[in-house]
């Protein structure tokens, strides 16, 4: 196409239309490649015995059943695993919102010596690779503190994240100084200003930070995998991964139960994203470009 477009005899208008058609075709092809695995995940989960043939990708309604969900539930109790994921994720969100809001407020609206230094340290933590921290963190949390197989051990290293601190800092910076000063003149303390003036204005930022924080621990595998050995405490991602790695070798066609577990794991994050996508998009782009 590149060569064609440069040849004389093609009007600029034609080239533009051609470009748009090509762009649209690329987007459609992309959307197919991105959505098909999700469709295939659901189809495989709903087939009693997943059929990997081409025709098997398009089963009739009478070929569908929920038996795989029952099967995975026998090996990985789904309600317990979902509850573990929820406690883990909830703990992280709670910590991130409290610590992150306090830090974001201190870094944006309070004046204190060392603020710039601390802000630069926060920036610096973004480039510390997690692989460097993995082994010492494991020694500290699991071996020294004895927090293996506890929710606290899973939550602590994720208790707050720098991205959330950024989101709060950027949002709080937009609140007019006069509003805060007026409250200060009335004798309100900073905690009171934060909870009664700043936070009610900051619902979008809280929602954004909560959502981006949700997908972290909900999808996280490595750390909770290191911390939990008992299945009763494992979040769904870990329990399902353990099922995959033990069953893959021993069963001929283990995919039905695996895909059913994958669907259950994927649905909450995907649903939250589709419902609140405008909040995700804002945060990711602004946080990313500010690094």
Q: Show contacts with another protein in window 89-128 (CB under 8 A).
A: 98-100, 102-103, 105-107, 110-113, 115, 118, 121-122, 125, 127-128
Phi-psi label, residue 129: left if phi above 0, alpha if psi -120 to 50, beta otherwise: beta
Interface with another protein, residue 175, by CB under 8 A = no
Minimum separation from the CB atom of position 271 to another protein (A): 10
- Pick from 152, 173, 182, 191: which binds another protein (CB under 8 A)? 191
Minimum separation from the CB atom of position 202 to another protein (A): 15
Helical spans, DSSP H, in the chain: 2-6, 12-46, 67-75, 78-108, 115-125, 130-138, 151-155, 162-173, 177-185, 190-193, 199-201, 203-219, 222-227, 236-250, 255-290
Count of residues in contact with another protein, rule CB under 8 A: 107
Interface with another protein, residue 232, by CB under 8 A = no
Interface with another protein, residue 221, by CB under 8 A = yes
Minimum separation from the CB atom of position 110 to another protein (A): 4
Minimum separation from the CB atom of position 205 to another protein (A): 16
Rounded CA separation 151/88 (Å): 6
Quick check: helix, strand or coil at residue 77? Answer: coil
Minimum separation from the CB atom of position 5 to another protein (A): 6
- Pick from 71, 75, 138, 207: which binds another protein (CB under 8 A)? 138
List, in sequence order, every residue forming a beta bridge with 64; answer none if it has no partner. 47
Interface with another protein, residue 276, by CB under 8 A = no
Minimum separation from the CB atom of position 61 to another protein (A): 20
CA–CA distances in Å: residue 85 to residues 71, 104, 155, 233: 20, 27, 11, 9
Euclidean distance between the first and the last CA atom of the chain, given in angstroms as a whole number: 37
Rounded CA separation 286/211 (Å): 15
Which range of residues in 63-71, 171-179, 198-206, 280-288 is near another protein by CB under 8 A?
280-288
Backbone angles phi, psi at 224, to 5 degrees: -60, -25
Q: In sequence order, what are the residues at sequence separation of 6 or more whose Cβ sits closer than 8 angstroms to the Cβ of residue 52?
A: 255
Write out the binding residues for another protein, residues 11-70 only, by CB under 8 A: 12, 15-16, 19-20, 23-24, 26-27, 30-31, 33-35, 37-38, 40-41, 44, 50, 52-54, 56-57
CB of 79 or CB of 127, closer to another protein: 127
Which range of residues in 10-18, 58-66, 86-94, 171-179 is near another protein by CB under 8 A?
10-18
Torsion of CA 110, 113, 115, 116, to 10 degrees: 130
Interface with another protein, residue 195, by CB under 8 A = no
Minimum separation from the CB atom of position 241 to another protein (A): 5
CB of 24 or CB of 196, closer to another protein: 24
The CA-based angle 92-97-103, given to 5 degrees, is 120
How far is C-alpha 284 from the chain's CA centre?
Answer: 11
């Amino acid at each position: 196409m590149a060569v064609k477009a440069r040849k004389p005899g093609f009007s600029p208008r034609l080239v533009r239309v051609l470009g748009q058609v090509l762009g649209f075709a690329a987007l459609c092809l992309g959307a197919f490649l991105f959505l098909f695995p999700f469709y295939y995940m659901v189809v495989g989960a709903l087939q009693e015995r997943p059929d990997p043939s081409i025709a098997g990708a398009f089963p009739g309604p009478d070929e569908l059943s929920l038996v795989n969900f029952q099967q995975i539930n026998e090996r990985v109790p789904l309600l317990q695993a979902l509850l573990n994921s929820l406690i883990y994720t909830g703990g992280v969100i709670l910590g991130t919102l409290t610590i992150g809001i306090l830090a974001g407020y201190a870094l944006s609206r309070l004046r204190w010596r060392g603020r710039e230094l601390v802000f630069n340290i926060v920036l610096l933590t973004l480039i510390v690779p997690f692989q460097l921290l993995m082994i010492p963190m494991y020694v500290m949390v699991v071996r020294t503190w004895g927090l293996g197989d506890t929710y606290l051990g899973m939550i602590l290293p994720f208790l707050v994240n720098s991205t959330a601190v950024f989101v709060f800092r950027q949002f709080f910076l937009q609140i007019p100084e006069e509003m805060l000063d007026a409250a200060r003149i009335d004798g309100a303390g900073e905690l009171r200003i934060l909870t009664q003036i700043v936070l009610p204005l900051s619902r979008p930022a809280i929602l954004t930070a909560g959502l981006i924080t949700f997908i972290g621990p909900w999808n996280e595998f490595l750390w909770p995998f290191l911390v939990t050995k008992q299945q009763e405490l494992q979040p769904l991602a870990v329990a399902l991964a353990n099922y995959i790695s033990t069953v893959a070798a021993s069963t001929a066609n283990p995919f039905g139960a695996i895909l059913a577990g994958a669907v259950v794991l994927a649905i909450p994050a995907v649903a939250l994203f589709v419902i609140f996508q405008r909040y995700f998009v804002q945060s990711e782009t602004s946080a990313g470009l500010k690094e």
